[in-house]
């Protein structure tokens, strides 16, 4: 038996192969998951699901499709309308991947999702740690200044590959230095 929360709405979860399963499944507008036989509130059982890379998931072994259902995506499909066809991603507005309430979810385009991730407290903290790192680095700030000077030179006569070999780093590292993704503070 499940106690309904104030303002909570339950909707049945339907996916390929759901009719062959013994139990039915439902999701609520507050982010809760339940399995039931006949009536969600009478014989339903709340499920915790699993965590996959921080997201709540439901692993169901369905005929012909053993797959993981990401709860935030399924709730968005059930409760939220897309404003455009570009909206293919679901973001958590408060950056808490386990808070799957409808008010915390939003459909987003790739550009919106990337911009949203850049403002994540975890991403900001990571950038801060990386910016202040002094051990384990392959390059010194002096080397990076020389690399940047070489990369921006109009009459550069050395290729990215040759520059990478000279400093024993990958070409990708040099592209990241050039774009400011790495060593942007120098």
pLDDT tens for each residue of 49-89: 999 999 999 988 776 676 789 999 999 999 999 999 999 99
CB atoms within 10 A of CB 145: 13
Share of the chain above pLDDT 90, in %: 71
Contacts for 95-101 with beta carbons within 8 Å, 24 or more apart? 95/119, 95/120, 95/121, 95/122, 97/54, 97/55, 97/56, 97/72, 98/51, 98/54, 98/55, 98/56, 99/31, 100/31, 100/56, 100/71, 100/72, 100/75, 101/29, 101/30, 101/31
Range 116-129 average pLDDT:
89
Domain boundaries, the chain: 10-124, 134-179
CATH of domain 10-124: 3.90.75.20
Rounded to an integer, what distance in angstroms lies between the CA atom of residue 162 and that of residue 88? 40
**SS3 state at 133:** coil
Closest CA relative to residue 183, chosen from 114, 109, 133: 133
What pLDDT shows up at residue 66?
A: 67
Tokens of 175: 């592209």
pLDDT of 15-42, one tens digit each? Answer: 887 888 889 999 999 999 999 999 998 9
CA gyration radius for the chain? 24
């Amino acid at each position: 038996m499940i106690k309904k929360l104030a303002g909570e709405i339950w909707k049945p979860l339907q996916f390929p192969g759901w009719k062959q399963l013994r139990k039915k499944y439902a999701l609520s507008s507050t982010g809760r998951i339940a399995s039931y036989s006949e009536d969600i509130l009478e014989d339903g059982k709340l499920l915790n699901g699993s965590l996959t890379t921080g997201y709540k998931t439901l692993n169901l072994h369905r005929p012909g499709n053993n797959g993981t259902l990401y709860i935030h995506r399924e709730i968005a499909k059930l409760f939220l309308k897309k404003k455009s066809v570009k909206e293919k991603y679901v973001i958590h507005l408060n950056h808490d991947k386990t808070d799957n309430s409808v008010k915390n979810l939003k459909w987003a385009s790739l550009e919106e999702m990337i911009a949203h991730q850049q403002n994540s407290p975890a991403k900001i903290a990571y950038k801060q740690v990386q910016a202040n790192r002094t051990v384990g680095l392959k390059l010194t700030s002096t080397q990076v200044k020389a690399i940047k000077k070489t990369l921006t030179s109009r009459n550069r006569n050395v290729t990215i590959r040759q520059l990478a070999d000279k400093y024993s780093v990958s070409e990708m590292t040099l592209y990241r230095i050039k774009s400011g993704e790495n060593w942007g503070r120098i």
